[in-house]
Amino acid sequence: MTDTDTPGRGYEISRDPARLDAARIHHWLSTDAYWALGRTREYQDRAIAGSLNFGAYDVASGEQVAYARVVTDHASFAWLCDVYVDRDARGHGLGTRIVTTARDHLASLGVRRLLLATEDAHGVYAKIGFAPLADPGMWMALQLN
């Protein structure tokens, strides 16, 4: 199913997996995203296949200019990850727009808990309503690798 949103600066946001430029997404993340440096293409393709994906596209060229991935049960929980805006498309609010679109879509499904982790974009996510965990002491993690 395609879900599009055409914001002011000539960008379209879509959930259509057929539009994703997997090679471009892999290049962005494996070479320029601190959390995914060195990630293999096979690993990235598996992550895309098992996730709800959002792409942002330049309306004039059709070129993908941003990406966001959500791991979710489509009911109560979601993890936002791999948010990336091409360096040439930054500064136009596109990161905020793609995350807002993802948030709103998840809310329409009834998802009530959306988590993310970031080292350097707290301000971007705070504008959309994200806040530090109220009780981080209750959360646990298991690192498998």
> Mean per-residue pLDDT for 43-61?
97
Residue 14 has pLDDT above 60, yes or no: yes
Tokens (6 digits) for 59: 């309306």
This prediction has a pTM of 0.91
Domain boundaries, the chain: 11-138
Residue 8 has pLDDT above 60, yes or no: no
H/E run at residue 42: helix 41-49
Which of the pair, 77 or 7, is modelled with greater confidence? 77
Cβ neighbours of 48 (radius 10 Å): 17
CATH code of 11-138, in short, is: 3.40.630.30
Tokens (6 digits) for 102: 């993802």
Measure the CA–CA gap between 49 and 114, rounded to whole angstroms.
20
Q: In what order do the strands lie in the sheet with 77-85?
A: 11-14, 52-58, 64-72, 77-85, 113-115
| Closest among 42, 25, 41 to 81, alpha carbons compared | 25
Question: In which residue are the tokens 């004039």 written?
Answer: 60
